[in-house]
Amino acid sequence: MKLFAIKNDLHLNKSTMYVCLCQAVTDQDIRDAVDDGVHTVSQLAETCGAGTGCGRCQQMAQEVIEEHLGDSQHYAA
C-alpha cells in the first residue's frame, strides 16, 4: 500500500501520511483518536469513517493504532 506524505512535522521530524484515502484520514488523525479512547478499527470507523470506503486501509490503520497504544503504554510506565 502506498501512503502519501502530506506534511513534515519539524518538531518530531516525522511526516504525516494519509492512511485512509477514501475518507482523508491521516496517521495523526488515528493517533489523536487513540488518545481519545479508540482501540480498534471498528471504533475508528465510527469516529472518523476510516476503513468504511474501499477498506484497503484497515490493516495499516490497525498497525497505527497498535503502535500508538504501545507508545502510550511505554510513556505511561
Q: Which residue has the higher pLDDT, 4 or 51?
A: 51
Closest Cα to residue 58, out of 10, 25, 32?
25
What is the pLDDT, as a whole number, of residue 1? 42
Cell of residue 55, nine digits: 477498506
Catalogue all structural domains in the chain, each as residue range(s) with its CATH number.
4-76 (1.10.10.1100)
Q: Which residue has the higher pLDDT, 27 or 4?
A: 27
- Angle between the 27-35 and 58-76 helix axes, to the nearest 10 degrees? 50
Calculate mean pLDDT across residues 19-44.
97
pLDDT in tens, 32-66: 999 999 999 999 999 999 999 999 999 999 999 99
DSSP lists the bridge partners of residue 14 as 9
Say whether 26 sits in a helix, a strand or coil.
Answer: strand
What is the pLDDT, as a whole number, of residue 2? 45
16: number of Cβ within 10 Å: 18
pLDDT band at 10 (very low <50, low <70, confident <90, very high): very low
